[in-house]
Chains A and B, each alone.
Chain A
Amino acid sequence: MIGWIIVLVVLTAAGIPAGIGISKLNKEHAEARNVSLNGVDFNSLIDGEYTGSYEGGMFKWRANTVKVIVSEGKLSEIEPISGVVDQGKGSTKMLYDRVIANQSLMVDTISGATLTSKGYLKAVEIALSQAN
Chain B
Amino acid sequence: MISPQPAHKEQTSMGTIMSHKAFGMYAEDCLDAVCREVARLESILSRYIPESDVSRINQNAGRNFVEVNPETFNILARSLELSAICDGNFDITIAPLVNLWNIGKNSFTQPPIREMKQVLELVNYRDLILDASSKKVGLSRPRQAIDLGGIGKGYTGDCILEIFRDFGVTSAYSNLGGNVVTLGAKPDGTPWNIGIQHPRLVDSLIGSLAVIDRSIVTSGSYQRFSNDSLGNQFHHIIDPATGYPVESGLVSVTIVSDNAMTADVLSTALFVMGVNRGMELLMSFPKTEAILMDSEEKVFVSKGLKGHFQPNEGIEYTILE
Contacts and interface: CB of A to CB of B under 8 A. Distances in A.
A4 B227 CA distance: 8
B201 A112 contact: no
A7 B177 CA distance: 22
Interface size, A (range): 35 or more
Given A22-B106, A94-B313, A98-B312, A111 B179 contact: yes
Contacts of A3: 227, 231-233
Contact of B222 (A97, A98, A112): A112
A18 to B, nearest CB: 15
B175 A97 contact: no
Interface string A50-62: 0000000000000
A110 interface: yes
Interface stretch (B142-150, B188-196, B298-306): B188-196
Nearest to A9: B202
A117 to B, nearest CB: 4
Chain A contact residues: over half helix, strand or loop, or mixed?
helix
A32 B223 CA distance: 16
A9 B193 CA distance: 28
Interface string B279-318: 0000000000000000000000000000000001110000
User: Chain B contact residues: over half helix, strand or loop, or mixed?
Assistant: strand
B198 interface: yes
Contacts, number: 119
Interface of B: 10, 12, 17, 19, 21, 106, 173, 175, 177-180, 186, 192-205, 208-209, 216-218, 220, 222-223, 225, 227, 231-233, 252, 254, 312-314
30 contacts: A9-B202, A10-B202, A13-B202, A87-B201, A88-B200, A88-B202, A91-B202, A94-B203, A94-B312, A107-B194, A108-B193, A108-B194, A109-B19, A109-B194, A110-B180, A110-B194, A110-B195, A110-B196, A111-B217, A112-B178, A112-B195, A112-B222, A113-B177, A113-B178, A113-B197, A113-B223, A114-B197, A114-B202, A115-B202, A117-B204
